[in-house]
């Protein structure tokens, strides 16, 4: 009896060697995985381009013609085989960087071929590298459908001469033998009103579409199913947690320290901060465990919300911890929070990787006996040796920097699970938030503290450096400070800090002592050294801080009004936005100067232009997702989404996602445990998902 969970090794045409390759490269292990390996697009293979009309902006295309000439040139890395391919309109070069011998044996002149690939422009010439090639005669005979699926393949897979065609062939074999064991995963109560096509039919049509219309239906059904599965699981788990997990109670009557801080604050909380604190308060007085995501742009005052929440815990005899991604940020939070709480009966401690053994021991003791109320730390805080007396609240700052596993450890630190407040300044596009954090409640701080002036952003070319330095000098001479950020060179360990070093020299030639002092911070420095540099800058002993992105998150120096980002084209949008958020924290006008080379890719150009034209983090995050979604156009990348989906796209399928979420919520509200006979099918599906879907949502 064929079972869809059979290993693909035994499928004719696979075998042990390919099975290993498929598993490693494409995560295909079973027949089911193979059938669920959906094409990223379909090409209309009855359509041919004329060679004369090719240009570099085209996606994958087909041409038809013959080779008139082959030549091998270059040596070593530059070695290549070039074939001149011609049709009645002109010629184009087909290029191979490897496998020349194999190609020359296979291809002949004066035979008609169909070439399928992506045209590239190299100076003024168009070429196509490593295309798929098939004899026109065979191509025509094998054409079962005008719509030919394209599967994404890795370089290693291509090196083994496995093409989209090969995959399709294997799927055909698998389909013939196994299709009868594909069973429906959705109940009629969902399928009927949405008019979804049955799963079996959808899988067939996605690989072997009969026409555009059926292909669209297949796509829709499979995307819905994928997004629905995630939503069902998130909301099911959330319901279970709400039913089975009770949380600490922090009633308002005990608010001694909260009230004291409130009346001592040097400024008024913003309306948004007060609203969010109200939401948190109602969470912690319900007897359920809070799981809340707090989104707020850089500088919106999330830390203040965290402090008040931690005081709620302290007032109710529980401890609180705030976990931050970097040492620098931990130090800074510790300093600020200690200052702010200095008159209050609260004990605040810090624990990081560099905490001395002696101090560590004291902290451990105070945590265990309950005398320490608030602990600030890096992930040193989740080490097994750290035990709390009664951990009531955990705040995770700059949450995108932490992995799920790191966060999950916090739960084990308390018998009753602590309330969790996750904070992020990286605005998350709505569709992504629903998918990643669909089981969290969301609060938003949508207002900056009063008196902030929007940061002015400008773009400079490398050779405009004189103007740039003049703008910088203006600010420094007015008593302000500046950050200069350099990207790391990822590829090379030895060159990693080269740009930063060169940059340091170029800045220090112009901004030299005694008038100006420059300090440097980067990831390879010892913590004490970093600390000293930062302290210099914070205390205004230095005017320019040259750094790598270690300062990306959280650092707060209100007197710094200039952020210069060097090689800005090498940063992603969200990173640029985060970096820019380091300035504009006081009442003074602040500036962000993006410096780049002349030659910019289209995407880089779009990114820098967007940075200049808006300071709205949400707008930028939507654009960022769109830009990163580009990858899936040519199948080189599964998708630009930060989580891996088989077929749905968070960039394009927002509407289907909403529908999927509504359906999941509706079903669960009627049948929370999925016990009704008609929903049993979903229960099974859910179990399946348990192992399939990465458990990204749980912070438990
Ligand atoms: P982020 O949301 O980026 O973490 P912070 O919490 O670091 O922002 O706050 C940025 C700055 O704004 C800090 O210097 C903080 O003291 C200040 N701040 C916070 N809330 C207010 C407020 N209501 N009014 C004035 N300043 C505030
Ligand atoms: Mg912050």
Strands 374-377 and 348-351: parallel
Q: Which two tokens stand for residue 290?
A: 């809070």
Burial of 606 (0-12, 13-18, 19+ CB in 10 A): middle
DSSP letters of 408-448?
HHHHTT-SSPPEEEEEESS---HHHHHHHSTTSEEEEE--P
What's the CA gap between 534 and 546, in Å, rounded? Answer: 10
Q: Which ligand is nearest to the CA of 340?
A: 1
For range 602-619, the mean pLDDT: 90
Residue 534's pLDDT band (cuts 50, 70, 90)? confident
Whether 526 has a pLDDT exceeding 90, the answer reads: no
Whether 465 has a pLDDT exceeding 60, the answer reads: yes
Please tell me the predicted confidence (pLDDT) of residue 400. Answer: 62
Residue 438's pLDDT band (cuts 50, 70, 90)? confident
| C-beta 301 within 6 A of ligand 1 | yes
| C-beta 102 within 6 A of ligand 1 | no
For range 514-524, the mean pLDDT: 89
Domains of the chain (ranges plus CATH)? 1-46+143-181 (1.10.150), 55-133 (2.40.50.140), 256-284+301-424 (3.40.50.300), 456-614 (3.40.50.300)
What's the CA gap between 382 and 241, in Å, rounded? Answer: 22
What's the CA gap between 357 and 679, in Å, rounded? Answer: 56
Report how far apart the first and last C-alpha atoms of the chain are (Å, whole number). Answer: 40
DSSP letters of 525-559?
S-HHHHHHHHHHHHTTS-SEEEE-GGGSSS---TT
Ligand 1 nearest atom to the CA of residue 302, by list position: 2
| Chain mean pLDDT for the chain | 87
β-partners of residue 86 are: 66, 91
Burial of 12 (0-12, 13-18, 19+ CB in 10 A): exposed
Please tell me the predicted confidence (pLDDT) of residue 501. Answer: 87
Q: Which ligand is nearest to the CA of 553?
A: 2
What's the CA gap between 429 and 651, in Å, rounded? Answer: 9
- List Cβ neighbours of 531 (8 Å cut-off, separation of 6 or more): 327, 328, 331
| C-beta 577 within 6 A of ligand 1 | no
Find the 105 Cα to ligand 1 centroid distance in Å: 69
Whether 473 has a pLDDT exceeding 60, the answer reads: yes
Residue 180's pLDDT band (cuts 50, 70, 90)? very high
Digit-coded pLDDT (tens) for 354-387? 899 999 999 999 999 999 999 999 888 888 788 9
Ligand 1 nearest atom to the CA of residue 296, by list position: 2
Largest Cα span, the chain: 90
Q: Which ligand is nearest to the CA of 578?
A: 1
Lowest mean pLDDT among 56-65, 72-81, 680-689: 680-689
What's the CA gap between 629 and 540, in Å, rounded? Answer: 42
Residue 689's pLDDT band (cuts 50, 70, 90)? low
Please tell me the predicted confidence (pLDDT) of residue 392. Answer: 95
- List Cβ neighbours of 244 (8 Å cut-off, separation of 6 or more): none
Which amino acid residue places its CA nearest to atom 10 of ligand 1? 299
Ligand 1 nearest atom to the CA of residue 270, by list position: 23
- CA neighbor of 222 nearest in space, from 38, 433, 42: 38
Our mutation pick for probing the ligand 1 site, out of 300, 376, 449, 586, counting the most ligand atoms within 8 A of Cβ, is: 449
Find the 401 Cα to ligand 2 centroid distance in Å: 12
Find the 221 Cα to ligand 2 centroid distance in Å: 41
For range 93-99, the mean pLDDT: 89
Whether 343 has a pLDDT exceeding 50, the answer reads: yes
| C-beta 269 within 6 A of ligand 1 | yes
Please tell me the predicted confidence (pLDDT) of residue 167. Answer: 94
Whether 429 has a pLDDT exceeding 80, the answer reads: no
Residue 654's pLDDT band (cuts 50, 70, 90)? confident
**DSSP code at position 571:** S
Which amino acid residue places its CA nearest to atom 5 of ligand 1? 301
Q: Which ligand is nearest to the CA of 294?
A: 1
| C-beta 556 within 6 A of ligand 1 | yes
Residue 448's pLDDT band (cuts 50, 70, 90)? confident
Residue 636's pLDDT band (cuts 50, 70, 90)? very low
| C-beta 272 within 6 A of ligand 1 | no
Whether 632 has a pLDDT exceeding 50, the answer reads: no
């Amino acid at each position: 009896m064929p079972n869809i969970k059979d290993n693909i090794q035994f499928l004719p045409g696979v075998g042990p060697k390919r099975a290993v390759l498929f598993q490693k490269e494409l995560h295909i292990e079973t027949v089911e995985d193979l059938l669920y390996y959906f094409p990223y697009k379909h090409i209309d293979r009855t359509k041919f381009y004329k060679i004369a009309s090719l240009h570099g902006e085209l996606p994958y295309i087909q041409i038809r013609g013959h080779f008139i000439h082959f030549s091998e040139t270059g040596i070593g890395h530059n070695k290549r085989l070039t074939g001149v391919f011609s049709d009645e309109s002109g010629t184009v070069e087909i290029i191979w960087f490897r496998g020349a011998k194999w190609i020359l044996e296979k291809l002949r002149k004066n035979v008609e071929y169909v070439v399928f690939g992506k045209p590239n422009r190299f100076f003024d010439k168009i070429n196509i590298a490593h295309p798929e090639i098939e004899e026109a005669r065979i191509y025509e005979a094998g054409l079962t459908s005008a719509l030919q699926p394209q599967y994404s393949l890795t370089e290693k897979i291509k090196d083994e001469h496995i093409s989209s065609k090969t995959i399709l062939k294997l799927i055909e074999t698998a389909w013939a033998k196994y299709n009868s064991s594909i069973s429906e995963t959705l109940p009629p109560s969902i399928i009927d009103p949405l008019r979804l096509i049955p799963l079996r039919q959808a899988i067939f049509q996605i690989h072997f579409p009969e026409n555009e219309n059926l292909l669209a239906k297949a796509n829709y059904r499979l995307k819905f199913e994928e997004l629905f599965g995630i939503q069902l699981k998130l909301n099911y788990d959330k319901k279970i947690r709400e039913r089975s997990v009770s949380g600490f109670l922090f009633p308002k009557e005990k608010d001694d320290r909260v009230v004291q801080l409130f009346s001592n604050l040097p400024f008024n909380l913003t309306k948004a901060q007060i609203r969010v604190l109200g939401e948190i308060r109602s969470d912690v007085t319900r007897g359920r465990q809070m799981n809340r995501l707090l989104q707020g742009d850089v500088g919106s005052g999330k830390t203040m919300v965290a402090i008040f929440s931690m005081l709620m815990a302290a007032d109710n005899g529980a401890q609180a911890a705030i976990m931050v991604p970097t040492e620098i940020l931990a130090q800074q939070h510790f300093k600020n929070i200690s200052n702010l709480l200095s008159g209050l009966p609260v004990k605040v401690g810090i624990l990081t990787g560099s905490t001395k053994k002696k101090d560590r021991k004291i902290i451990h003791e105070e945590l265990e006996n309950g005398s320490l109320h608030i602990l600030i730390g890096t992930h040193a805080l989740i080490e097994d040796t750290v035990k709390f007396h009664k951990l009531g609240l955990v705040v995770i700052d700059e949450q995108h920097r932490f992995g799920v596993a790191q966060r999950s450890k916090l739960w084990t630190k308390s018998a009753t699970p602590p309330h969790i407040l996750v904070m992020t300044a990286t605005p998350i596009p709505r569709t992504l938030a629903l998918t990643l954090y669909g089981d969290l409640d969301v609060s938003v701080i949508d207002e900056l503290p009063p008196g902030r002036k929007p940061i002015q952003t400008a773009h400079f070319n490398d050779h405009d450096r004189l103007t740039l330095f003049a703008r910088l000098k203006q600010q420094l001479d007015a008593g302000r400070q500046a950050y200069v950020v350099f990207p790391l060179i990822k590829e090379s360990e030895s060159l990693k800090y080269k740009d930063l070093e060169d940059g340091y020299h170029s800045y220090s030639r112009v901004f030299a002592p005694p008038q100006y002092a420059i300090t440097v911070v980067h990831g390879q420095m010892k913590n004490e050294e970093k600390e000293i540099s930062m302290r210099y800058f914070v205390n205004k002993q230095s005017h320019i801080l040259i750094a790598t992105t270690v300062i990306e998150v959280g650092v707060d120096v209100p007197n710094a009004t200039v952020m210069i980002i060097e090689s800005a084209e090498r940063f992603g949008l969200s990173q640029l936005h985060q970096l820019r958020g380091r300035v504009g924290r006081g009442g003074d006008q602040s500036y962000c100067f993006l410096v780049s080379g002349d030659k910019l890719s289209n995407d880089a150009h779009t990114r820098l232009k967007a940075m200049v034209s808006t300071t709205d983090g949400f707008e930028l995050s939507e654009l960022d997702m769109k830009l990163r979604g580009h990858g899936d156009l040519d199948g080189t990348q599964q998708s630009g989404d930060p989580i891996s989906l088989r077929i749905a796209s968070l960039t394009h399928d927002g509407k289907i996602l909403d529908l999927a979420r509504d359906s999941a919520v509706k079903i669960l509200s009627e049948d929370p445990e999925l016990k009704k006979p008609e929903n049993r099918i979903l229960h099974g599906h859910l179990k399946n998902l348990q192992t399939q879907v990465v458990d990204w949502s749980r912070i438990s």
